[in-house]
Amino acid sequence: MTVFRTGRTLAFAVLGACVMAISACATEEGYRQHMSMEMGRASDDIMMRWGPPQNRSSMSNGREMWSYTKTTVDEQDGYYRDETRQVKRTFTDKDGKQKTETIEETFPVWQPPRVYRSTCSTRFVMGGGRVEDVTFEGDGCVAEELK
């Protein structure tokens, strides 16, 4: 389960909800669209929406890079599934003739619990108190596409 701290952005909420739902509408292009809307925002606005950056790095051109990383963990319980297979059986009938028959067997197969992790690293380049560039990477960088 994903827990959001007070002050996290709507973008993080949408991201988390879409990742957890593993919705077909949640795509990398959707995340790109949402992040393009962050361009030009004031640094105070980013701080209010995203919270304090997990990392701040000074760049050689005087700008600053703010980094945020979000990891989502989804767990799937173990379960039994039915598996069917065909089995050939050879036998001798009452007249002494060899015969082969195919029968279908169904039996339970245990699927162990699984943990799915997805991560999204988002970086904002801040200059003059505004977002000048946004980059991101990771399989968790998905959001609903804008219409």
Is residue 132 within 8 A of residue 14, CB to CB? The reply is no
Q: For residue 76, what pLDDT is reported?
A: 93
Neighbouring residues of 5: CB distance < 8 A, sequence distance ≥ 6: 51
Q: Cβ atoms within 10 A of the Cβ of 34, count?
A: 22
Instruction: From 62, 76, 74, select the one nearest 132 (Cα to Cα).
Output: 62
Q: Give me the pLDDT at residue 122, please.
A: 98
What was the pLDDT predicted at 25? Answer: 80
In tens digits, the chain (147 residues) has pLDDT values of 333 333 334 344 444 444 444 445 899 999 999 999 999 999 999 999 999 999 999 999 999 999 999 999 999 999 999 999 999 989 999 999 999 999 999 999 999 999 999 999 999 999 999 999 999 999 999 999 988
